[in-house]
Amino acid sequence: MAKHIFITGGVVSGLGKGITGSSLGVLLKSGGLKIFMQKFDPYLNIDPGTINPIEHGEVYVTDDGAETDLDLGHYERFIDINLSKHSSTSAGRIYYEALEKERNGKYGGKTVQVIPHITNEIKQRIYKAELESKADVVITEIGGTVGDIESQPFLEALRQVRMEKGKENVMFVHVALLPYLKVSGEFKTKPIQHSVKELLNLGIQPDVIVARSEFDFDQKLKDKISLLCSIPSENVVSCPDSDSIYKVPLVIEKSNLHKIAAKQLDLKLNDSKLEDWNKLVNNIENSKEVLTVHIVGKYVELSDAYLSVIESLKFAGYEINKKIKIHWVNARKLTEQNIKEELSGSTGILVPGGFGEDGVQGKILAAQYARENNIPYLGICLGMQIACIEFARNVLNLKDAHTTEIDSKTQNPIIDIMEGKNRENIGGTLRLGRYVTSLKEGTKASELYKDKVAVERHRHRYEFNNKYREIFEKNGIVFSGLYPEQDLVEIIEYPKNDFFVAAQYHPEFTSRPNKPNPLFMGFINAINKR
Ligand code: GLN
């Protein structure tokens, strides 16, 4: 039987509940425990796969092909585990499945209600995660803030789990904002008190408060929060803002949150050894020199849309003690007239994944600029397709070459829809998750992976059209990664240039601190060489 830690948020969203939960996971794992993490999101979309990244940030893909919230990326990167579809559930999915059961007569003629039917669905998911992960500790984060209408059924389900399993098996950690008022020079505890009251209204007494504040605070304030929120003073944890999220596990270690959890949940916890984290933080602090990467995308106003890409670039940079600066280039605004000005001086160009027509023309220009000027290029998913279209148009002289995602009538469908996929039913129907790519010997890809295969995650519906393989090869493109089972192109490279590599998969989902994905490492090394 696993122990459970539930993470709720108070006062405002965006406090880093996910980072707090993951950091706690890091410490518990380093103390010898097996950890599983999951997130409940109160929105009504069935999964975030169809939500605009401007609203919700990137869609993170797990090994087993679930399209999930970006917080799962933090969980995986921090704890260095591979999560699954059990790690991500939205209110929409819960209702969808409950209503399906209703249509199929599974509720035996009962009136279907939030309590018990929806709450039971939620509890089942918690128990399923416990069962299938065989973890010692399951950490569950509830998205949003306590008091939101949508999160109430989730909190009610958690209350029931606590009642069923007892305090020695279930711990509530409430992460809440402790604002500092500059005018009067003091911290204000009232918002935290209010959010704890909200929890109490729902029958939940938190065991720990993680107060998120601008600065560290003293024992006197801990005692005050303790008194007003009925929590032992040692269970009030200060978690001040940090200049890097990767320093938070060290902050949590100092706060003893892992020991508080071990005590309440009776966990056998060895001394934690955070050598890896210390190494990472050292690398971060020693990374003074800056390398610049031009990312040509369409969501430049919101870096969360490319979160895993950015973190992957940073990890690769830290390995060689370099700070990465992202220079955002809005693909929608790139034209033949301004491309030189926009990309002049660039030392590395990355075209990330994407869907739809918007910005595609600008991305094609960027790939051309990189190829013609021998600037290191890393293409990811759509970024690979773009590189192929550009090559076909400008080297093979197939002027109307395109992807049928955008031009279904092109005479030269270099990129075409995969067999068995259709354009209409867009939710959860892509080629998703982990597939094994065979690497061709003697190529950049095989040199970088130092292996015969690359195991990476996918999220796409279109593919390189094999009819064009020969003519591409004759003109210098190497297909260095293939998926033999379906004869799909997974990696292309252009060896005439120092570094021109593009993958149909998403290498950013397997990058971890101290273990950057090989393609990112190759790209950053190439930039550094320049
Ligand atoms: N839109 C492209 C496809 O569906 C690329 C997807 C992506 O970049 N994730 O194949």
How far apart are the C-alpha atoms of 487 and 493, rounded to whole Å? 17
- Mark whether 341 and 262 lie in a shared domain: no
With a pLDDT cut of 90, the percent of the chain lying above it is: 88
- Mark whether 39 and 117 lie in a shared domain: yes
At 428 the pLDDT is: 66
- Kindly report the average pLDDT of the chain as a whole number: 94
Please compute, for residue 487, the number of CA atoms within 13 A of its CA located in the half-sphere on the CB side: 5
- Mark whether 391 and 337 lie in a shared domain: yes
Q: For residue 82, what pLDDT band results from cuts at 50, 70 and 90?
A: very high
Average pLDDT for 379-404 = 97
pLDDT higher than 80, residue 485: yes
With a pLDDT cut of 70, the percent of the chain lying above it is: 98
78 Cβ below 6 A of ligand 1:
no
- Mark whether 272 and 299 lie in a shared domain: no
At 289 the pLDDT is: 93
At 423 the pLDDT is: 66
The token pair that represents 444 in the structure block? 């950049």
- Here the CATH number for the domain that contains residue 328 is 3.40.50.880
At 48 the pLDDT is: 81
Select from 233, 257, 279 the last residue of a domain: 279
354 Cβ below 6 A of ligand 1:
yes
Q: Note the pTM of the prediction, 2 decimals.
A: 0.93
Could you tell me if 82 and 75 are in contact, meaning their C-beta atoms sit under 8 angstroms apart?
Answer: no
- Catalytic one among 258, 294, 460, 506? 506
- Mark whether 273 and 394 lie in a shared domain: no
- Here the CATH number for the domain that contains residue 174 is 3.40.50.300
Select from 256, 279, 302 the last residue of a domain: 279
- Mark whether 219 and 320 lie in a shared domain: no
Q: Residues 187-211: pLDDT tens digits?
A: 999 999 999 999 999 999 999 999 9
* Angle value at C-alpha 57, between 359 and 124, nearest 5 degrees: 140
Q: How many domains does the chain have?
A: 2
pLDDT higher than 80, residue 172: yes
Q: Residues 133-171: pLDDT tens digits?
A: 999 999 999 999 998 998 999 999 999 999 999 999 999
- Mark whether 404 and 503 lie in a shared domain: yes
382 Cβ below 6 A of ligand 1:
yes
- Mark whether 73 and 43 lie in a shared domain: yes
How far apart are the C-alpha atoms of 517 and 435, rounded to whole Å? 16
- Mark whether 217 and 344 lie in a shared domain: no
pLDDT higher than 90, residue 13: no
Q: For residue 424, what pLDDT band results from cuts at 50, 70 and 90?
A: low
Is residue 234 among the annotated active site residues? no
247 CA distance to ligand 1 centroid (A)?
A: 34
**What residues are paired with 501 via a beta bridge?**
378, 493
Select from 228, 246, 279 the last residue of a domain: 279
- Mark whether 203 and 338 lie in a shared domain: no
Asked if residue 188 belongs to a known ligand binding site, the reply is: yes
pLDDT higher than 80, residue 420: no
- Mark whether 292 and 275 lie in a shared domain: no
pLDDT higher than 70, residue 475: yes
At 504 the pLDDT is: 98
Q: Is 127 exposed, middle or buried (0-12, 13-18, 19+ CB in 10 A)?
A: middle
> Measuring from atom 8 of ligand 1, which residue has the nearest CA?
353
- Mark whether 305 and 269 lie in a shared domain: no
Select the more confidently predicted residue: 13 or 227.
227
How far apart are the C-alpha atoms of 353 and 349, rounded to whole Å? 13
At 429 the pLDDT is: 78
Element holding 464 (H helix, E strand):
strand 462-464
Q: Which residue has the tokens 């304030």?
A: 221
Asked if residue 190 belongs to a known ligand binding site, the reply is: yes
Show the domain range for 393: 288-529
pLDDT higher than 70, residue 426: no
Sign of torsion over alpha carbons 3, 45, 91, 175: positive
Q: For residue 425, what pLDDT band results from cuts at 50, 70 and 90?
A: low
200 CA distance to ligand 1 centroid (A)?
A: 46
Give whole-number Cα distances, 146 to 38, 119, 229, 283, 299, in Å: 18, 16, 15, 37, 30
Is residue 74 among the annotated active site residues? no
353 Cβ below 6 A of ligand 1:
yes
460 CA distance to ligand 1 centroid (A)?
A: 4
477 CA distance to ligand 1 centroid (A)?
A: 21
The token pair that represents 410 in the structure block? 């092109």
- Catalytic one among 229, 239, 381, 388? 381
> Measuring from atom 6 of ligand 1, which residue has the nearest CA?
460
Q: What are phi and psi of 415, to 5 degrees?
A: -115, 130
